[in-house]
Chains A and B, each alone.
Chain A
């Protein structure tokens, strides 16, 4: 596993990554946490909106679409291979 950190919105379709931190912006922070984006959660980018500006992520069993500017507040560590969502 690499220790490189990138923004969630930088994931390509099919990429898996582990959440490291949420950057500090109060209003959205809790909302993202409620969606399951907390440390150690594995997420997968499963699609980009055809119009752009939004991507869909598989987070704890649900598919959630986030605007890229919101997803940029989540720092993740990309994973090399596809691990199971439920371990």
Chain B
């Protein structure tokens, strides 16, 4: 299937022993159900800026960070959220393996105060592993608002482990967590041996292998826990156990005999594997209920009236889709209309600087070729990239992050499940598609939240069908120039946003079509089960979102674009200025590509720009302009009006514009995305499919469109 265990990221975990800098540093795993604010706690403790979002499966890779208390140095590892230690997805397997075999010194389990009973299931499972545990009951403020009262001392007494409350957004509330951690490490307390009492027959069967295991070298594992797992024969776990213990323990004759005897006792009481699993889970859940009795008092249902009302609007039959479309259009409109002015300032400022620099260079008698390389080659393209890219990104990313923070994205997946289901795909693909709007490479990594390997591949291969942030500004520019007019104003930005929304809908539609195509051809199969948690709506932390999304995402993406813009600018300058037999290399290359590009309604220069823009889509339009300009047409500051003139002078018509838009949506993914796909799938074949499929679809559409237009004319 192409997806191997090594490609889905346990590497971060494997390397944790290297991370441990000094022998005094303690390794702490940060565990918890999805959506309990783990990442926020991680960030608050370590001072790192891991992106947090309000939906299940946010942590797709394992982040590690350090922090210190009065007594100890800690290495904190944030592991993916999971409901239980019985792994279903590679992501959950990572969580389980790290807790069970990661040789951690302690586990901090984060719980959601308003759903403590359901969270305790995981707590009991981890305690059962015999690892020191500190329970951190997070979101205490939210619980208070929902009129849920918690007796943490009573919980702590019943669980036999320290329990502290916190409000992760308020850093000082984490003081108690640090103290509890110091105490837990200092006293080396191990929690009670049997936190979950099982029915008599299981206890009797369990005792037989447990006794044998007690006398065997089983490392840090708890013999009761190990006996249970061996009785349960969890296949994926067995592999890990073999790796951890070596074959001498698992193949031991006495152990095999003990297990056989235990199974005999179970089958005497008609406890087969299925019944055993049921009993294990229901015993644990019965225990969580017992623990919560009187310790957790809840006046209303924990699903608040406000959530109910918001869900009624955001997922209602009549309102869900109009609201989704309006939100999308609104975000685009804000992005389009608010980024015009700063874009213009940036480009004016940039070109003014460039001009001054050119004068200075001439004044000190720099050779002409060097002036050319520096000014027209290396510096011009980055300035274009910054002025075209920075404003829309600085507006789009925060807006998108706000939606993500508020908990809207899972609702999108919920609303859009039907079409994905029809394509035999996973509903979570809607989430990875949304991530793709930000950056396709991030979207591809995000596909790890999808459990089934087949459905994950579907999502990975079709991720680049939705345009990422690097392509939006180009799409907006072409749309504005050729479909709306360059006069500007409110009406123009409204219609740009409207057309862009239509374009995105088209891209989403093609995503469905491509997913369906793959699921009936290369990736045949039935849809597997799909469960999705709809978290409480939370008021996003606006200030933090603004700062973080601008600094972390925008600067990162822009930095990458500039890093490739410099060599690309140099390359195109060289192409435009090195001549072979009186003709520039650029003209050679363009005329070489021209016959290929014409049937698609493009020209050689456009295709060349797409090819040179392989490292980053952001630079395609600037490269195009530069190539056209090098033929000596215009040298002034590019505004949309002059740009359009330049393009029209080079033979652009509205057909060209439509074909460029289509090809922008559907062509090979950028190099970063392809590298990520290679890494995630571990297969060259699937990487090639990911590059060829959208290119074929885009080229076909362009060819058909051009043929129709030519036929009509």
Contacts and interface: CB of A to CB of B under 8 A. Distances in A.
A50 B320 contact: yes
A44 B205 CA distance: 37
B296 interface: yes
Interface in B371-424: 410, 414-419, 421
Contacts of B302: 61, 85-86
A72 to B, nearest CB: 11
A51 B418 contact: yes
B18 to A, nearest CB: 33
Contacts of A1: none
23 contacts: A30-B88, A30-B277, A34-B84, A34-B86, A34-B88, A38-B285, A39-B282, A44-B301, A49-B315, A49-B414, A53-B421, A54-B417, A54-B418, A54-B532, A60-B115, A61-B117, A61-B303, A63-B307, A65-B414, A65-B534, A67-B421, A70-B530, A84-B301
Contact of A64 (B296, B317, B531): B531
Contact of B415 (A50, A59, A86): A50
Given A50-B320, A86-B296, A62 B115 contact: yes
B321 interface: yes
Contacts of B278: 22, 33, 38-39
Contacts of B301: 44, 58, 84-85
Given A60-B115, A60-B117, A62-B115, A33 B418 contact: no
Contacts of B162: none
Contacts of A56: 311, 315, 414, 534
A35 B312 CA distance: 23
Contact of A86 (B86, B298, B534): B298
Given A50-B317, A51-B415, A86-B296, 15 more contacts: A27-B529, A30-B86, A31-B88, A34-B84, A38-B281, A38-B285, A46-B308, A49-B417, A50-B320, A58-B301, A61-B303, A64-B531, A64-B534, A67-B527, A86-B302
A29 interface: yes
A38 B118 contact: no
Contacts of A60: 115, 117-118
Q: Across the A-B interface, give the 9 residue pairs with the lowest CB-CB distance, nearest first.
A: A51-B418, A61-B115, A50-B320, A28-B529, A60-B118, A63-B534, A61-B302, A34-B84, A65-B532
Contacts of B88: 30-31, 34
A36 B88 CA distance: 15
B55 to A, nearest CB: 12
A33 B531 contact: no
B684 to A, nearest CB: 30
B323 to A, nearest CB: 10
A2 interface: no
Contacts of B312: 47
A29 to B, nearest CB: 7
Nearest to B534: A63
A50 B416 CA distance: 8
Contacts of A70: 529-531
B11 to A, nearest CB: 26
Interface string B515-543: 00000000000011111111100000000
B83 interface: yes
A39 B283 CA distance: 11
A6 interface: no
Nearest to B529: A28
A20 interface: no
B418 A86 contact: no
A67 B315 contact: no
Interface residues of A, number: 40
Contacts of B296: 86
A70 B421 CA distance: 12
Nearest to B451: A31
B114 interface: yes
Interface in B67-112: 83-84, 86, 88
Contact of B531 (A29, A35, A44): A35
A39 B275 CA distance: 12
Most buried by A among B303, B316, B416, B535: B303
Interface of B: 83-84, 86, 88, 114-115, 117-118, 121, 274, 277-278, 281-282, 285, 292, 296, 298, 301-303, 307-308, 311-312, 315-318, 320-321, 410, 414-419, 421, 427, 527-535
A77 B84 CA distance: 26
Contact of A50 (B321, B534, B535): B321
A34 to B, nearest CB: 4
B645 to A, nearest CB: 46
A54 B118 contact: no
Contacts of B318: 50
Contact of A27 (B427, B527, B528, B535): B528
A24 interface: yes
Contacts of A67: 417, 421, 427, 527, 529-530
Contact of A33 (B114, B281, B534): B281
B121 to A, nearest CB: 8
Contacts of B417: 49, 51, 53-54, 65, 67
Nearest to A33: B281
A86 B117 contact: yes
Contacts of A61: 114-115, 117-118, 302-303
B529 A62 contact: no
A41 B118 CA distance: 11
A32 B317 CA distance: 26
A52 B418 contact: yes
A45 B534 CA distance: 13
B86 to A, nearest CB: 6
Contacts of A28: 529
Nearest to A58: B303
Contacts of A50: 315-318, 320-321, 415
A54 B427 contact: yes
Contact of A24 (B115, B274, B298, B307): B274
Contacts of B419: 51
Nearest to A66: B531
Given A46-B308, A50-B317, A63 B418 contact: no
Contacts of A39: 278, 282
A44 B308 CA distance: 12
Nearest to B297: A86
Most buried by B among A27, A48, A60, A85: A60
B90 to A, nearest CB: 14
A12 to B, nearest CB: 14
B274 A51 contact: no
Contacts of A34: 83-84, 86, 88, 121, 281
A46 B533 contact: no
A53 B530 CA distance: 11
Nearest to B527: A67
Given A33-B281, A58-B301, A84-B301, A46 B528 contact: no
A36 B285 contact: yes
Contacts of B418: 49, 51-54
Given A49-B414, A53-B417, A31 B529 contact: yes
A70 B121 CA distance: 22
A25 to B, nearest CB: 8
Contacts of B114: 61
